[in-house]
Amino acid sequence: MASHEYKDGSPEPVSGALGGASADITVEKLDLPSADSILSALEGGPASATSTEKREEITPEEEDQMFRALQEVLDHASDAESFDLQKLRDSLETADSGQRSPQLLGDVPSILDKLWRSRSKYMPRAVEALANGSREPSWRSAFGQSGVLEFFLQLVATPEEVEEQVLFHSLRLIGNSCADTDENREIVVSKNSTLPIIRLILNPGLVHVVIPVIYNICMDFEPAQSQVAANRLGYILLKLISDGAIEGNALLNFAYELVSITAEKEDGIANSPDGTIILIMDLAVNKDTTFAQFACLVECLSRYLQNERFQNACVQHGLVEKLLSVLRHSYDINDVDESSSEDVKLLAQTQLKLNQTISNVSAVSEFAEVYPVGSSLFNSLKSWMAEPEDQLQICACVILGNLARSDEVCRLMISELDIHRSLIAMLKQNNNARGSVLHAALGFLKNLAILEENRGKLGEADIIPTVSHLWTSDTIPQVQLAAVSLIRLVINSSVENIGRLLAPLSPDPDSPAHLRTYLSLLLSLLGRTDSTPIKTEIGRIVASICRTLGARSREDGSSEEVTDLFDRLFDLHEDVARPVDAMVTQTEWPVVRSEGWFALALMASHTKGSLAVADRLYNTDVYQLVEETLEGDISGTDNASIQKTKDRENLVVMIKELLDNNPDTLSEARKARLKELVNNAVTDSLRTAS
């Protein structure tokens, strides 16, 4: 550090008011203690310096001799310069290979003790001289080993009145002695000496030096970081910044870095009052907060809101709207340099982190109770779906999608609020949208489609044609998977939507597209993608078509509608059974594999469908699985044996239906082998049952 005077500009103090609609009675009940009360409740710290109540009398000649002795030791010490925060930061980068021996300091600790106990007029000058000397890295170890550092740690801990100049230079010496010197930092931490230093932060004349001193002690030294976190430094700094007690960007940057450090520690979060998140959010949206400080605050906020206590406090005290205002504010920060790739990247990361944080909070069990459909928060989010900013749209989809977890809410969102039309409009208007927006909108629609009565309305709103462009474009796989999964839900148990999926791409009979359907687009995607989950989902769509049409056929008999749909399914899609390959050959989900065999059995029961099934039995992988499943003994009672039994039962049905329809594309040898496999499987089953 330099010397005794710090001057900077005087920006407007940061307001500590809660502000806006969130400053209501509920929010005011949150615990927002003063920094003074927090510090008053903390105990511990080193023994203080020798009391001066019984002053030791020394003659002026003795005082003069002692001071000259100090001067001789520190004859290299430079004259005092103005204190400058930047010089402190620069000192962190300074290295000096030469080290002073602690023996050079001789009787300095005892001289200091005598000067202190006698209240000598030389005490301020002696402390300043030593503080100036501490700027030289070669003295740092010597100060620690000789006891000089410990003397000043005790001095700043004394409850007695100490001249501000003495405290100021004492802090300088402590901070400089700890710069890049872990052995001295260890001395500070060993007796919880960070606490009395933190207490001095309440002194307006010392705050500008206390914060950099703590920064020096903590930088790259985990024990000190944990100690100041346990001593509630994070909350104390946030409260002081909020109250306008810390000013100037240089000092604020130090303070925010320390807040961030404490938020990384479990004790730093655990020991903070619930109201800490209010302070963070209010500071984040303050017009005087710089972009770098905003990013730091968001990082801290995300860490606090990973904690269940703070998540609950945010919801129960109605702070989610304030949390949303932080995300909204991220689009209005003035000092983001859009020409800087680093700034652009940091802003994107910050907004992403905010959205993840908001998503986590919206998953709290009481969220839907505090913010029901029709609440002001709900309406704000609904309006965000039409905003041009990606992260606002994502936020709206994620939170409202989390609300769509009950049949009642899902029904209300579509039948009365038409939210599905807003979502579909988002998909239509965002052909070039970032994948994250599309993925969020599709996830919301999937939640709405789980309720069976919603599926018809989704179909009426052209969900299938809208989503189909995502199957044909160069969209990221996660979005394509969501787009395919949505359609699987939409057509499940819905003959009407199956009809829409099998509708021609063009109404013009003379157009080649008239003979292609939306299912054709899915089959084309199957041939292009390397994604097993996408292939499996397409297979499940085919299986769902067969299951739904089969069920309707059994209910209504051979209705003209179902017969026509079956004909379109098999006439227009010769390879319609191909997607089921992925279902039966994958090994991750046994239930899906059984679903695949069942789908093939349903196809095989249809004359035209049996041709598609016969074609798949020439796939080596599929046929090998048929042999393996139908052969061998199944006698176990474990899940794998039970699952294999179900697969075998479905295969027996499939092959019997297939042989009954006798497709001419299946060779006689293959038919004979299949018949043999079925007979053996049935025999084994009867033997096991008996």
Residue 390 pLDDT class (50, 70, 90 cuts): very high
Residue 79 has pLDDT above 50, yes or no: no
- Report pLDDT for 88: 33
Residue 567 has pLDDT above 70, yes or no: yes
- Report pLDDT for 6: 25
Residue 690 has pLDDT above 90, yes or no: no
Mean pLDDT over 48-69 rounds to 54
**Domain 492-689 class?**
mainly alpha
Q: pLDDT tens across 444-495, in order?
A: 999 999 999 999 999 999 999 999 999 987 778 899 999 999 999 999 999 9
Task: For domain 372-491, say whether CATH 1.10.10.10 is its number.
Answer: no
Distance (Å, whole) CA 596 – CA 599: 5
Residue 11 pLDDT class (50, 70, 90 cuts): very low
More confident residue, 277 or 159: 277
User: What backbone phi and psi angles, to 5 degrees, belong to 517?
Assistant: -120, 175
Mean pLDDT across the chain: 85
CA 295 to each of CA 237, 241, 290, 327, 649: distance values in angstroms, whole numbers, following the listed order: 17, 16, 9, 11, 59
- Report pLDDT for 645: 87
Residue 475: CB atoms within 10 Å: 18
Distance (Å, whole) CA 445 – CA 401: 8
Helix (H) or strand (E) holding 563: helix 560-571
What pTM was computed for the model? Answer: 0.80
Residue 153 has pLDDT above 90, yes or no: yes
Q: Are 488 and 540 in contact (CB under 8 A)?
A: yes
- Report pLDDT for 52: 47
- Report pLDDT for 28: 44
Domain ranges of the chain: 372-491, 492-689
Q: pLDDT tens across 338-364, in order?
A: 889 999 999 999 999 999 999 999 999
Residue 106 pLDDT class (50, 70, 90 cuts): low
Residue 178 pLDDT class (50, 70, 90 cuts): very high
Residue 525 has pLDDT above 90, yes or no: yes
- Report pLDDT for 65: 57
Q: Are 400 and 378 in contact (CB under 8 A)?
A: yes
Mean pLDDT over 252-281 rounds to 95
Q: Are 197 and 218 in contact (CB under 8 A)?
A: no
DSSP type of residue 17: -
Mean pLDDT over 670-689 rounds to 84
Region at 119 (left for phi over 0; alpha for psi -120 to 50; beta for the rest): left
Residue 204 has pLDDT above 60, yes or no: yes
Q: pLDDT tens across 404-443, in order?
A: 989 999 999 999 999 999 999 999 875 555 788 999 999 9
Residue 643 pLDDT class (50, 70, 90 cuts): confident
Mean pLDDT over 645-673 rounds to 93
Mean pLDDT over 521-535 rounds to 93
Residue 91: CB atoms within 10 Å: 20
- Report pLDDT for 138: 82
Alpha carbon 50 to chain centroid, angstroms:
51
Alpha carbon 587 to chain centroid, angstroms:
31
Residue 103 has pLDDT above 90, yes or no: no
SS3 517: strand
Equal CATH topology for 372-491 and 492-689: yes
At position 629, the amino acid (one-letter code) is T
- Report pLDDT for 69: 54
**Which residues does 541 contact at the CB level (< 8 Å), separation at least 6?**
484, 487, 488, 491, 501, 519, 522, 579
More confident residue, 567 or 86: 567
pLDDT > 90 fraction of the chain, expressed in percent and rounded: 67
Residue 244 has pLDDT above 80, yes or no: yes
pLDDT > 70 fraction of the chain, expressed in percent and rounded: 85
Q: How far apart are the first and last CA of the chain?
A: 91
Mean pLDDT over 183-199 rounds to 95
Residue 476: CB atoms within 10 Å: 14
